[in-house]
Each structure stands twice: as structure tokens, then as C-alpha cells.
Amino acid sequence: MFEEYKIATLGSHSALQILKGAKEEGFKTVCICLKGNEKPYESFRVADEMIIIDSYKDFFSIEKKLIDKNAILIPHASMIAYLGMDYIQSMQLMHFGNKNILSIEAHRVLQKQWLEMANLKIPKHFSSPETIDRLCITKFHGADGGRGYFLAKDAKEFYTKLAQSTKEYYIQEYVVGIPIYIHYFYSPLTNEIEVLGFDKRYEANVDGIGRIAAKDQLACEINSSYTVGGNSPVVIRESLLPEVFAMGEAVIKASQQLTPGGLFGPFCLETILNSDLKFYVFEISARIVAGTNVFMNGSPYSYLRYNEPMNTGRRIAREIKQAILTDSLSKVLG
Ligand code: ADP
């Protein structure tokens, strides 16, 4: 009966994992792909069907086709960035996950309120450059893989580095520590939270600066930047795990107060762990994150729970399958 449904996503970000996971659970898969980007989706054999579009705007014209195929769309960050939240909100196509939560996530102020409601430690926000009194990171709107972010310790340095940019910015305390991205899955069918893995990012140029001597760094006046190019797996101190679960549960509880149904499915807390072993959460992603791609074949933690290769993409498909088989599909759509 579940075979009547197809799993679809846009060919980018974590589509290989999403489609592979869906096939492993027995679904047929559809990859909507921008012309010129087909190669990986064909070569890795993850798509039963490819729909090629000339531009992302053309997605709108194939929506009806996807509805006729009984496709369930799995969102990811590139899809949200390319199609836009307004369109996703208005879409009639079956959509895995709560769209209202995606809208809250996309709004920095609402996201901050959500994390505060969950009582998580977050880096201090500076509402104006003039109030900067410590090392800060300046971020720009939209998930663009950390591109263009810069550090400044006071207003003067901030304005020098901002230069002519007119982009909307967000200034946050820079927390010195190690970045840890926590991959969660919350099932609205079992009301249980799962930890599927952890990753860290590999960013240009902060992860490359250490490859040249300090005198050379000074000589060429390098500015730190955080453009993500890839990810690596992490396992964390086992004694931190109780807190990891508690943080995830707090976020779910708070989300249920924010909007009916709250957050469910995969999500990620993006944290910096400092030398006092305190987690500072600088961002939440309310959908699959690209860092889960390091565990295509399962992570140490998903192995503990599932005893079989279980990645986040496959976990999504299993949830959908379970929902269909128990006549509760509406619980995982939104
Ligand atoms: P994106 O919006 O693309 O997800 P992030 O906001 O996650 O980008 O930040 C990109 C990178 O900047 C992170 O991987 C992390 O290394 C660094 N970073 C972000 N915020 C902080 C912070 N408050 N303190 C220290 N490092 C940070």
C-alpha cells in the first residue's frame, strides 16, 4: 500500500541521501533537477525518475505532475532557498514536516525566541554595531553556507569589514570552542526523540589558516571566513549525551507551544562547545542538514539503535512508511 506513494526532492544538498534512503525503504523516487546538475543523481542510481527543469521557477509548473504521481516532497535547505518560503507555504503537493516551523526557523528573531523558550544557552545578540564590546561574528540573511561572515571586536572594525555591503546583518558574540552539529529525529508517531549523529564543518578559510605559519597569516592580512565546503563526522564525550537529549526535548516542547503540531522529523542544533563543556546553540535547522551526508551508511549512534545502515534520509522514509501503514499519514505532513 505504501508503494502507491513516491518520495521526491530537489536535486541538491542532501538529495542523494534522501533518495537512497527512500529506495532502501521500498519507495520509488523522483528527483527534480536543474538542467546541467543531473550527473550525480543518474550516476549514483538514486532516482527512479528524473524531472529536469530549466530554472527553479519551473518547479511551479511541474507541481501538478508531482501531485498526480502521489509524490511526497522532502524539504532541505537548498529547496527552501531556491523556491522560497512563500511558495512552499502555498504548495498543494504533499510535504513532509511542518511548514510553519520552517517559517519560524527562517526568521532570526523568532528563532532566537524559540531557543530562549527552550532555555538553551545562546550567544549574545548585539542589536547595533556601536554596542559591540567583545569578539563578534556578523552573519547575513539566509542559509548560504557561512559565506561572507566576518569577525570584529568593535564598531570601527565592524564598519571597515562591512565596507559597502547593504545586506541585512545579524551580530552575535563569537564563542570560542569547537563547533558540534547535533543531528536529531523526532517522531510524532512514537513521540520519541532520537540522536542520529554529530558532525563538524570544513570551512574556508578558517580551517585552512592553520596550514600556514602565523607570520604568513599576518603578512597577507587574512580575514577569517566561514564558507562551508564539506563536513566531517564527530563522536562526542559520552557524558555529554544526557544533555544532548535534554536540549532536543526542550526544543520540541517549545515548538509545540509556538505552532500546532510543532517540530517533527529531522532537525539540527548547531552548537559551539566551550572549554567548560557548555553548549552554546547559535542556530537551529528544522529539517535535514547537509552534515548528515557524512553518515550515508549510518553513524555510530544510528548503528546502536538500528543495527542496520540508517541515515537521516532513510529514517524520514521509514517514518512516512510507518505513518502510511498505520493510517496516520497526516501526522507527518504539514
Ligand atoms: P549558516 O547560516 O550557513 O548555517 P552558520 O550561522 O551556521 O551558517 O555559521 C557558519 C559558521 O560560523 C559555523 O560553522 C561556525 O563555525 C561559525 N559560527 C557561527 N556562529 C558562531 C558563534 N556565535 N560563535 C562561534 N562561531 C560561530
pLDDT at 10 over 60: yes
| Nearest protein CA to atom 5 of ligand 1, as residue | 146
Give the position, in ligand 1's atom list, of the atom nearest the Cα of 200: 14
Residue 144: per-residue pLDDT? 62
d(CA 247, CA 81): 27
Residue 189 CA to ligand 1 centre (angstroms): 32
Q: What is the pLDDT of residues 209-219, one digit of tens each?
A: 999 999 999 99
Look up residue 148 and give its three cell numbers.
Answer: 561572507
Q: What HEC string does 222-245 produce?
A: CCCCEEEEEEEEECCCHHHHHHHH
User: Where does ligand 1 bind, in terms of residues with CB under 6 Å?
Assistant: 123, 137, 139, 143-146, 149, 172-175, 179, 201, 203, 226, 270, 272, 282-283
Give the position, in ligand 1's atom list, of the atom nearest the Cα of 177: 25
For residues 14, 171, 253 and 188, what is the CA-based torsion angle, rounded to 10 degrees?
-10
Q: What is the CA radius of gyration of the chain?
A: 20
Closest C-alpha to 100, from 262, 219, 229, 208: 262
Residue 145: per-residue pLDDT? 62
Alpha-carbon torsion (321, 326, 331, 334), positive or negative = positive
Residue 30 CA to ligand 1 centre (angstroms): 32
Residue 196: per-residue pLDDT? 98
d(CA 120, CA 125): 14
Percent of the chain with pLDDT over 70: 99
Residue 288 CA to ligand 1 centre (angstroms): 17
Residue 137 CA to ligand 1 centre (angstroms): 8
Look up residue 251 and give its three cell numbers.
Answer: 526544543
Query: What number is the average pLDDT over the span 111-135?
Result: 97
Residue type, 306: Y
Query: What number is the average pLDDT over the span 238-250?
Result: 98
How far is C-alpha 28 from the chain's CA centre? 24
Architecture of domain 125-173: 2-Layer Sandwich (3.30)
| Nearest protein CA to atom 14 of ligand 1, as residue | 201
Exposure of 259 by Cβ count < 10 A (0-12 exposed, 13-18 middle, 19+ buried)? middle
Query: What number is the average pLDDT over the span 201-208?
Result: 93
Alpha-carbon torsion (68, 73, 77, 80), positive or negative = positive
Q: What is the pLDDT of residues 77-95, one digit of tens each?
A: 999 999 999 999 999 999 9
Residue 292 CA to ligand 1 centre (angstroms): 17
CATH of 105-121+177-202+229-324, one of 3.20.20.20, 3.40.50.620, 3.30.470.20, 3.10.150.10: 3.30.470.20
User: For 92-101, 223-232, 284-293, which range has the lowest pLDDT when averaged over its residues?
Assistant: 223-232
Could you tell me the residue ranges of all domains in the chain? 2-95, 105-121+177-202+229-324, 125-173
Residue type, 323: A
Q: Considering only the top CATH level, what class is 2-95?
A: alpha beta
Q: Tell me the best of 270, 273, 278 to mutate to test the pocket of ligand 1, counting ligand atoms within 8 Å of each CB and taking the most.
A: 270
d(CA 132, CA 334): 40
Q: Tell me the best of 111, 124, 137, 175 to mutate to test the pocket of ligand 1, counting ligand atoms within 8 Å of each CB and taking the most.
A: 137
Residue 132: per-residue pLDDT? 97
pLDDT at 141 over 80: no
Q: What is the pLDDT of residues 156-180, one digit of tens each?
A: 999 999 988 888 899 999 999 999 9
Give whole-number Cα distances, 124 to 20, 138, 191, 281, in Å.
Answer: 40, 12, 32, 11
| Nearest protein CA to atom 27 of ligand 1, as residue | 174
Backbone angles phi, psi at 217, to 5 degrees: -60, -45
Q: Are 181 and 257 in contact (CB under 8 A)?
A: no
Whether the predicted model's global pTM rises above the 0.75 cut: yes
Residue 227 CA to ligand 1 centre (angstroms): 10
Closest C-alpha to 125, from 174, 172, 158, 175: 172
